[in-house]
Structure 1
Amino acid sequence: MRDTSRIAVSDDEYRLINALQISPRVPWSVLGSVLGQDPVTLARHWARLERCGIAWIGAYLSGNAARASALLELSCPPSQVHAVARSLAYDKEVLTIDLTTGARDLLLTVMCEDLQELERYAIERMRLLPQVVSMRTQLVTSNRLTFDARTWRLNVLSPAEIRQLAQYQKSQSERGLAVQRKPERSERDLIASALRHDPRMSMESLARYTGMTSQRARDCLGSSLAEGDIVLRTGIARILSRTPVYAWLFIKTAAGQVPKTLKSLAAMPETRLATAIVGSCDIALAAWLKSLEDLERLKTALTQQLAIDVVDTSIVMRTPVHLHEWLNEDGLRMRDGDGAGIATLGIADPEDSD
C-alpha cells in the first residue's frame, strides 16, 4: 500500500468538499461569497483535490423505473478474488465492486436497462468466470425505494452556509423543472457523457461538446439534473472521509414495513445506500462508520429502535470500482492515464505488490 501520510486535507478543503456535495456546479464566485474565500483560491484547492484523487464529482444516469438493479454476491477461492475483480472492472453494467469479508468475497452493484438484460448479465457473464464458485443475486425491488449517498454529507459547514447553498441549488432546480421542451434520450446521453468528462464544464464548452446551441445545452442540463435523470455526486476517498469503516448490513423486517424502515435508515448520517431487495433479506444497507465499535453500536440501535433483524454483515476491505470510477488500493480516484490502467487498481495480486 502506498504511503498516504503526505496527502492531507485542510479544514478549508473539507468545507469546500462539503459545499460541492450540496451544489456540485455552483460557480466559484457564488461559492466564494458563501464560504468567505477567494474564488480563485477555491478553484485551485479543488484542482489539487481532484489531481490527488482525494475528491471528485461523478456523473451518472440515475436508475429510473425503466432500469433493473441488483447486488451480486460472488464467492471465489482466495487466490482468484483479484482476478475476478479485474475481469469485471471493465463491465459497463457494474457500478461498484467491493472486496468484502464474511459470506461473500465480492459484492457487485449492477444496473442494466431491464430485467431481461440483468438476467443475461448475471447468468451468461458469470458463466465466463470459472473462478466464481457460487453466486447469490439480490434484486433491487424498486429504484424508488433506494436511497443512495447523493445526500451523504461531511457536515462541516455552518447552518447558514448550508442554507445559502441549498437555496442556490433549489433555484437551479426550479429553473430546470420549468424547461418546456424536455431533453430527448439522445440529448440526455450527450449531456451525461460531457459531464463524465468534466462535471463543472462551462455552458460554452458543454454546447461545443454536445453540438447543441448554448440555450439548448443549458435547458437539457438543467432539466436532466432537476428531474434526477442525471446525478452529480461529489465523492471523497474513504480513507480521508473521517469514516474509514465501510460495512454492508443485510436486514429482515416485518411485512409491510420496508418503506417506513428505509426512510428511517436513509435519515441516518452513516447511510451510504439503503435499498429494498428480493432475496434472503428485505433490505441492504451500506454504511460508513468511524470505527468497528460504531458498527456494533449501530446494529444494536437498529435492532432496538426499528425492530429489525440484522442477519448478516460484511466489512469492505477495498473498493476498486465505485460508480464507474476506478480507485487505487488506498481508495484514491485514478485519473485517466494514471499508472498502467487496470493493473494499478486496488486489486493487484500479492506477488505484484511491493
Structure 2
Amino acid sequence: MHAMAFSVVPTPVSGTAPRRPPESAALSETDLALVEALQVAPRAPWTRIAAAVGIDATTAARRWNWLVRGGLAWMTAYAAPPGMPVAYIDVACRPDRLHDVGARLSATPHVFSIERTAGPYQLLLYVIARDLTDLDAFVTDCLGRTDGVRDGVSAVRVSLRSRTYREGSGWLVHALDSEQRRRLVPRDGHPAPRHVPPLGEADARLLRALGGDGRRPCAELARECALSETTVRRRLARLQRHPDVHFRCDVAQRAAGWPVIATYRLSVPADELAATGAALAALRETRLCVAVTGTANLLLSTWVRSTAECHALETRIRRRFPRLRVTERELTLHTLKRMGRLLDPQGRAIGHVPPGVARLAR
C-alpha cells in the first residue's frame, strides 16, 4: 500500500487552542436553540438566526463563537457522492493496543468516524472509498497489517451501505417549535433544481475550505479559493441546494444532554425494509439509519439520555415492528472522531482531519 501522510487541523480553524469550559458544562436552552437554528439554516445571517432563537444578532454570534472555541459545537460541510461505497467496519483489537490503533485510524481521512464500543468488536469505523477495490485494499492492506488488530477471519466485519434513511446531518436538537423553524427558511427560497450539475473543481475547493468551519465568511473563502466574492456567493447558494452536499451543525452530545450512543443491528424482512427504515429514521433518537449488507440488514444509531432509555426505545421499536429482530446491540464508550472532527472523552472537538478518499489499491 502506498504511504500516505495526513494533516490534523486544530480546532478552531484559526489554529488557536480551544478555551475549555468546565468539565460539567452543559448547554443552555438558548444554546440548544442556537444549534438547531444552524442545523436548519447553516449559513443564514445572524439577524435571521437571532430572530428565530429570540435573542439579538450580536449575542447569537458571540454565543456561537464561545461554543466553537470550547469545542461544544461546530459546523462543517462535505460532499457525499452517491457512487462511492460507504462501509461500516467492526474491528476487534488487542486491549493493550486499542489506543494506538484508534489514534492511527483517526488520522486517516477516509475513516470519517470512529467509535470505541463495548462488545466483541472494540472499534466501529465509518469508511468511504473510491470503489470496492479500494475498500478491499483498506481492509486487507491497512487493517490487515495494523499492529493491534486481532488475527483471524472474525477480527474484521464489513457491512456496505445500500440505502440511507437518515444520517447525522438530518438530526435535529428539537429545541425550536415549528414557528421558529419557519422563520429560518425564507419564503422566496429557491426550489431544489431539477437538473443537478456535477460538482466541479471550484466547488471542491470551496468544500475543502468549509470543512473546518461551514460558516466562514465569503470574503475569506474567496481569498483562499482564488475566486471572486460574487462567484463564491453564487456557488455557495448552489451547493446548499445540491443533494450530494451537506452542511452539518454538530454538538458535543454529553454537554447537550445525550450522553449515551446505542447502536443496533436489525434484521427486517426484505419487503418491509424500506417502510421500517423510513419510520425508524423519523424517530427523534435516530442519528443514523441505513440499509446494509449482511445478516442484519439495517444499522440504527441512536442518541439517548440514559442507558435505561435504551430498553424503552427498543421496546417501542419491537412493538411497532413485530417482525423486526434485534441481532446485536452495543453502547459507545468514546467517539474518537465524528465526520472528520476529532473528539475528546467528553465529546468536545479538539481537531479536524478533513474527510476524503485516497487511492489505496496497489
TM over 0.5: yes
Partner of 2:147: 130
**Are residue 320 (structure 1) and residue 327 (structure 2) matched?**
no
C-alpha contact (below 8 Å) 1:96/1:322 kept by paired residues: yes
Structure 1 residue 335: Cα displacement: 4.4
Q: Deviations over 1:257-307 (max 9, x none)?
A: 211111011100000000011123100000001111111111122112112
C-alpha contact (below 8 Å) 2:76/2:247 kept by paired residues: yes
Partner of 1:344: none
Q: Distance in 1 between matches of 2:290 and 2:188?
A: 29
Structure 1 residue 316: Cα displacement: 0.1
Residue of structure 2 aligned with 1:69, choices 77, 86, 95: 86
Q: Deviations over 1:207-233 (max 9, x none)?
A: 222112223222222222211332111
Structure 1 residue 6: Cα displacement: 5.1
Partner of 2:109: 92
Q: Secondary structure at the match of 2:349?
A: coil
Partner of 1:43: 61
C-alpha contact (below 8 Å) 2:26/2:256 kept by paired residues: no
Q: Secondary structure at the match of 2:37?
A: helix
Q: Distance in 2 between matches of 1:196 and 1:255?
A: 37
Partner of 1:213: 228
Partner of 1:27: 45
Q: Distance in 1 between matches of 2:307 and 2:54?
A: 37
TM-score (norm 2): 0.85
Partner of 1:340: none
Distance 1:230 1:3, change over 3 A: closer
Q: Secondary structure at the match of 1:314?
A: strand
**Are residue 285 (structure 1) and residue 300 (structure 2) matched?**
yes
C-alpha contact (below 8 Å) 2:113/2:340 kept by paired residues: yes
Partner of 1:272: 287
Distance 1:171 1:258, change over 3 A: farther
C-alpha contact (below 8 Å) 1:59/1:233 kept by paired residues: yes
C-alpha contact (below 8 Å) 2:342/2:352 kept by paired residues: no
C-alpha contact (below 8 Å) 2:85/2:131 kept by paired residues: yes
Q: Distance in 1 between matches of 2:167 and 2:279?
A: 13
Q: Distance in 1 between matches of 2:189 and 2:140?
A: 42
Partner of 2:168: 149
TM-score (norm 1): 0.87
From the two aligned structures, give the one with the greater helix fraction: 1
Partner of 1:343: none
Structure 1 residue 40: Cα displacement: 0.9
C-alpha contact (below 8 Å) 1:173/1:222 kept by paired residues: no
Partner of 2:180: 161
More displaced, 15-24 or 314-323?
Answer: 15-24
C-alpha contact (below 8 Å) 1:68/1:111 kept by paired residues: yes
Partner of 2:16: none
Distance 1:113 1:51, change over 3 A: same
Matches within 5 A, 1:232-271: 232-271=247-286
Unaligned runs of 5+ in 2: 1-19, 354-362
Unaligned runs of 5+ in 1: 338-354
Q: Secondary structure at the match of 1:34?
A: helix
Greater length-normalized contact order (CA 8 Å, ≥ 6 residues apart): 2
Q: Secondary structure at the match of 1:25?
A: coil
Q: Distance in 1 between matches of 2:289 and 2:120?
A: 19
Partner of 1:226: 241
Q: Distance in 2 between matches of 1:56 and 1:298?
A: 28
Task: State the identity %.
Answer: 26
